[in-house]
Amino acid sequence: MAAVQDMARLQRMLFEIERQFIATVTTQICRVGEIELKYLLCQHVWEAAGHARFLRERGRELSGFGKDDSVREGFRKIFEEAIRADDPMTALAGFYNVLKPRLLDAYQSYLAATHHLADWPSRNLVEEFVGDEQRHEREIRPYLEGVDARAWCERLGGAVDAIGGWLGEREVKALPDDFTWIHPDRPYRHPATCARGKYPVCSSVFGHDPDEVPIVRDWLEDPETDPRVIRIMVYVWLMMEVDAVDYLSTVFYDTAHAPFDLHFDLARHLWDESRHSQFGFRQLPRLGVDLNTLEHSLELFNILVHMTPAERYAMMTMEFEAGSFSTKAKVMDSVRELNDFEADTLLAFDRNDEQGHVRYGHRWLPEIMRLFGESRRVDDFVKATQKRFSELFETYGKATPHSLPPEKRLTANKIRKMVETGS
């Protein structure tokens, strides 16, 4: 059984690398300002989660893979180091110019080591993963152009060389005498707010004054509101799910020792929210909205970053998403009058995904609570969390002033005028 155990050991190492990539690269999502880069990172995290899951499933068919989801310290500390870069683009250069290319090398090393027929199920998977890693490199390349991270990449490359590559497939090279690990003396902290790059920002896109904000909830639920107005408003709402991308991405690192199945579902949840945001990001310009006039709301991130991971996840799944169903049902009924097949389709998938996210909340909130020693009943914890959110709202909820004056920013009344005049 030695050959089987050898391949299982390599698969276990590949699983751990993918798992630790998921737990750490997510820390950079809220830090990068380019919206489409956020979307791309969410996609790569979801695909990495798929790699890890299949590696674990296949590995458990083999003797010697192991039964838990832990990551060895030698891998963990390299990824911990990778997120201590001074800026997010340098950090991403480390991930994509060093850690992931070395993972590609490891996958190719695995293919060279295993038997084409005896280990056919594993080879089939790994060959697909090789293609994904090569595509990831191509997709990230435009965002890293002009980023000078040579010193940082040399540092991370040296750390991987010191263990002989991810699978021990390379010559071991000692770290330089002056090398000092950064992460033990620099605790990681999430940023106080999330980045939005070139886009204007505000506290919230929701409100009651149609001359101030683009989404007036009363209009969404009013059967007299023009469905064309509602369609644009709901696309704004969907685009602003990028704030969910940002605050959900913080939960991965904070739950690094959770079961991998939790991170797998979080990765799916993250990718779903990214897709929902893209629904609005892609459709609004087609309906005549200049995205440079649409302020991005930062309120939820600014509040939630001050809450525990369990509180963040409780508010997201048991409050925001569970509480959106009645309004979105009315929105769907109104938009259906437009005979807009694409809008109907996007809203239907959004609704379906959100139902799945609430199920995730019921499944995983108790687990996250246990990770942090929270012994209250789930219902009691959720109620207490809602109260704490309200308290924090008084301090952080309206902390971001409008970047644009009313005459320049998209508002509900401007949306109504836009659809009435066709311009």
Q: What is the pLDDT of residues 10-38, one digit of tens each?
A: 999 999 999 999 999 999 999 999 999 99
Torsion of CA 41, 47, 51, 56, to 10 degrees: 90
pLDDT of residue 1: 59
Average confidence score pLDDT of the chain: 95
Percent of the chain clearing pLDDT 70 (strictly above): 99
Cα separation, 80 vs 380, in Å, equals: 35
CATH of 2-185, one of 3.40.190.10, 3.40.50.720, 1.10.3660.10, 1.20.1260.10: 1.20.1260.10
pLDDT of residue 170: 87
Domain range summary for the chain, segments of one domain joined by +: 2-185, 201-421
- Is residue 3 very low, low, confident or very high in pLDDT (cuts 50, 70, 90)? confident
100-113 and 2-25 are packed helices; what angle lies between their axes, rounded to 10 degrees? 170
- Is residue 423 very low, low, confident or very high in pLDDT (cuts 50, 70, 90)? low
pLDDT of residue 309: 97
Percent of the chain clearing pLDDT 90 (strictly above): 91
pLDDT of residue 115: 85
Q: What is the pLDDT of residues 228-266, one digit of tens each?
A: 999 999 999 999 999 999 999 999 999 999 999 999 999
Is residue 229 within 8 A of residue 218, CB to CB? The reply is no
pLDDT at 51 over 90: yes
Measured in whole angstroms, how far is the alpha carbon of residue 261 from the centre of its chain?
16
In 3D, which of 189, 223, 200, 214 has the Cα closest to residue 335?
223
Question: Which residues, 6 or more positions from 400, have their beta carbon under 8 angstroms from its beta carbon?
Answer: 193, 201, 202, 203, 297, 298, 299, 302
Residue 138 has a CB neighbour count (10 Å cut-off) of 8
CATH hierarchy code of domain 201-421: 1.20.910
pLDDT of residue 269: 97
Query: Which CB contacts under 8 angstroms, 24+ apart, belong to 320-327?
Result: 320/244, 321/354, 321/357, 321/358, 321/361, 322/358, 322/361, 324/354, 325/351, 325/354, 325/355, 327/217, 327/220, 327/221
Average pLDDT over residues 385-403: 95
Q: What is the pLDDT of residues 274-330, one digit of tens each?
A: 999 999 999 999 999 999 999 999 999 999 999 999 999 999 999 999 888 888 889
Residue 355 has a CB neighbour count (10 Å cut-off) of 12
pLDDT of residue 2: 67
Cα separation, 66 vs 62, in Å, equals: 9
Cα separation, 3 vs 378, in Å, equals: 47
Cα separation, 409 vs 402, in Å, equals: 9
Q: What is the pLDDT of residues 170-194, one digit of tens each?
A: 889 999 989 999 999 999 999 999 9
Q: Which of 59-73, 189-203, 256-270 has the lowest mean pLDDT?
A: 59-73
